[in-house]
Structure formats: structure tokens, C-alpha cells
Amino acid sequence: MSFIRPVHGTAGNSEPMSSGLRLLLASGAGLSVASIYYSQPMLGVMGSSIGASDTAVGLVPTLTQLGYALGILLLTPLGDRFDRRRIILIKAALLSVALLLGGIAPDIGLLQVVSFAVGLTATLAQDIVPAAATLAPERERGKVVGTVMTGLLLGILLSRVISGVVAEHFGWRAMYMVAAASVALIGVAAWRGLPTFRPTNTLSYGALLGSLASLWNRHGALRRAALAQGLISVGFSAFWSTLAVMLHGAPFHLGSAAAGAFGLAGAAGALGAPVAGRIADRFGPEVVTRLGAGLTALSFATMLASPWLEPSHRLWLIAAGAIGFDLGAQMTLVAHQTLVFGIDPAARSRLNAVLFVCMFIGMSIGAASGSLVLARWGWVAVTLLATTSALAAFLVRLVPGARAPQSRPAQASSAL
């Protein structure tokens, strides 16, 4: 198989990336980030199985998300200081071990500790994306990043559906075992298929983290991308964090399986990301950011009509909107990453860390504000919040920005 043969790509590589290597990178991103979300549909059975209270077991996904956020901030920048291949292999091994321990955890205390470790090491996904941007030839970087990000988003959207089915038929511990095995296989494939990457700087760890603020202050293109993606993430998270609650109430009275089915609708939208990458390669990522943000806002806005429709028609409208805004959010993210990775090839890991920290902040704000808005004003107010945040992102992208600085020489981030 082509993806298990060592390649030695460079940032200036003119050869197209093999389909096997693209599959490896997309699968690695999707399976690693999925580890963060497997536990969410299984919390009820996990609590009863190990005798934990609802409050204690509710900390499992919280600690996982906290670990992931800290990992993006504290670990992802290391990709500019050390060989990315080595980092990917170490994180894959540690993530596999953490998931294995989760599957055999005898009590809630160990499960909580393991959940935090899963979040930290699942940032493997954020090392794979800059690696893909480095290995891809410049003319198809958007397409390659789009393919990898499709894998990542599919991992997020499908993880809850898969874990719910596996837990129902084989138990929640089986899901952890399956996840551990899948990440271990990705680690073996990466060991055989990825080249080594030359570090792009020799900064100390403290200086490396401090440079995140310098990059933010220096590059207006980074600030615009981070702000716009953060605003889109507010609406994205507000929708998905309140959907199950809304469907459970009148007039639908649907269970968690129905919310999972909407996740499949969102996954259909994510499949359009490679197309967005090709458009970015041909016409420039700036155009795609506006198209994506506009499609996201329009998709959310159509849901404002749902109160005037019959319940069955309302469900179809929400499903269509989910496809549209997931596609729009993914298009915008791919374009933003293409923009950000072009700012400075020697700082791709740190630039990606800044972008995703802001995206995570937006998702956290969206989850909190969505729940509050739903409780006080109902579902229409949630869709209005999502529409407003997406329109704000569209306006950010419409404001003319300064020309992005010239990238440093391509060999700065080449593989050995």
C-alpha cells in the first residue's frame, strides 16, 4: 500500500501528494480527534457501570475538553521546534495507552485522570494538519488541507454515532478498546509512511510559547482569520450543544438517536471540504472565506422560519440547514488554514495553535450561550444567535485586510 512507504516531502515539493498519504493523514486526524467525543453518548451507562454519580461522570467529557484546549496551547507549538514525525508517533502511542486505560478503569477517579490525558494527546490531530500543509506542493495545499480537515470533521461528527452504537451492543469499555486499537494502527502507519521533518527554529520552550503573542501582534491576517473562525464556531457550537434538548421537547419528543442522525447530515456537508480547497487553490482562499461565512449565515437564517412549519417539515428544514452550515463552516476553516499556513512556513504549528485556540474559545462561548438562550427564549433565539455570529464573521472577511507578509524561504520547513 502506498501510504506505508516512507516519503521525504519538502515544503517546496512539486510532486503531487499520493492518495495513500492523504488517506493516512485524514484518517489520523479523524480518529485522533474522535477520541475526545466517544464518551459523550456513553455517560449514562458508564455511571451505572462503575457506580459513579451524574456529577462525577459528567466531569469525564469536561476534563477531556480541558485537556484538549491545554494541549493545543502548550503542546502544539512544539511542532515548530522538533521533528513533527516524532511528535506524531509519541502522541499516537500515548493516546492509545490512555484509551486502553480508560477501557479497564475500575473507578471514576482513574477514568477522570485518563480522560484528561486523552484530551492532551488527542492534539495529535493538530500536528497532522501542519504536517500535511508542509508535505503538500503549494499549488494543491488547499486541496490537501481540505481533505485532511474533512477527516477531522468527520471524526467529530461521526464519533458520537459510532460510540453510541458500540456501547449499546458491546458495552462502553469495548468502545475504548476499539479506539485504542484504531489509534495504534494509525501510529504504525505513520511510523512507516511519514518522513522526518526538519525543525524550523531553536527557541526554548518558554520563548516558543511567548512567540504566540508575537505572531498575533505581527500578523493581521492571523487575527482576522482567528476572529472570523471563532465567530462561526459560536453558532456552530450553539446549534449542536442544544439540538438534542430541543428535539427531546415538544413537539418532537425524540431521543438521542435522532440527534445522532442529524450528525450524519452534518457529516454530508463536511464532505465538500476538498472542493473548497480546490477553489482556494484556484481563486485564492480569501474568496472561499467569504463564500463559507455567507453560506453559514444563510443556512442558519433559513431555520428562523421553522416555527411556521409543520413539525415534519421543520425537521427537514433543520437537516438541510445542518448540511449547509457544516459545509460553510468547513469551507471557511480550510480557507483560513490555507491563509494562515502561508503567513510563515517556519511557524505553521504555532499559527495553527493560535487559530484553533480562538476557534475553541468560540465553541465554548457558543455552548454556554446557546444553553442559556434556549432556556430563556427558545430555539428561534438560538438560531438567531447563530445567524448573527455567522454574519459577523462574514463582515470580518469583507473588511479589506493588509497584504499578507511574504513567506520565508520554503526550505525552512522542509523535511530532511
Contact between residue 140 and residue 88 where contact means Cβ atoms under 8 Å apart: no
| Three cell numbers written together for 264 | 450524519
The pLDDT assigned to 14 comes to: 56
Contact between residue 277 and residue 142 where contact means Cβ atoms under 8 Å apart: yes
The pLDDT assigned to 117 comes to: 96
The pLDDT assigned to 259 comes to: 65
The pLDDT assigned to 55 comes to: 74
The more confident residue out of 248 and 91 is 91
What mean pLDDT comes out for the span 148-174?
84
Q: Which domains does the chain have, with CATH numbers?
A: 2-199 (1.20.1250.20), 213-412 (1.20.1250.20)
What mean pLDDT comes out for the span 327-356?
89
What mean pLDDT comes out for the span 268-291?
79
What mean pLDDT comes out for the span 137-160?
82
Place of cell 455511571: 47
| Three cell numbers written together for 161 | 454515532
Place of cell 444553553: 371
Q: Is the pLDDT of residue 181 over 90?
A: yes
Lowest mean pLDDT among 21-25, 42-46, 90-94, 407-411: 407-411
Per-residue confidence band for 270, with pLDDT thresholds at 50, 70 and 90: low
Lowest mean pLDDT among 13-17, 35-39, 185-189: 13-17
Lowest mean pLDDT among 259-263, 278-282, 300-304, 323-327: 259-263
What mean pLDDT comes out for the span 212-221?
94
The more confident residue out of 276 and 294 is 294
Our CA dihedral for 274, 278, 280, 284, rounded to 10 degrees, sits at 180
The pLDDT assigned to 219 comes to: 95
Q: How confident is the model over 2-28, as pLDDT tens digits?
A: 443 444 444 445 567 888 899 999 999
The pLDDT assigned to 411 comes to: 34
Mean pLDDT, the chain, rounded, equals: 84
8-state DSSP, 198: -
- How many other CB atoms sit within 10 Å of the CB of residue 387? 21
Residues 140, 16: Cα–Cα separation, whole Å: 8
Contact between residue 296 and residue 232 where contact means Cβ atoms under 8 Å apart: yes
Q: How confident is the model over 349-358, as pLDDT tens digits?
A: 899 889 988 9
The pLDDT assigned to 306 comes to: 82
Query: 15-24, 195-204, 211-220, 265-274: which has the highest mean pLDDT?
Result: 211-220
Q: Is the pLDDT of residue 416 over 50?
A: no
Q: 143: which residues sit within 8 A by CB, 6+ positions away?
A: 136, 274, 277, 278, 281
Residues 299, 386: Cα–Cα separation, whole Å: 10
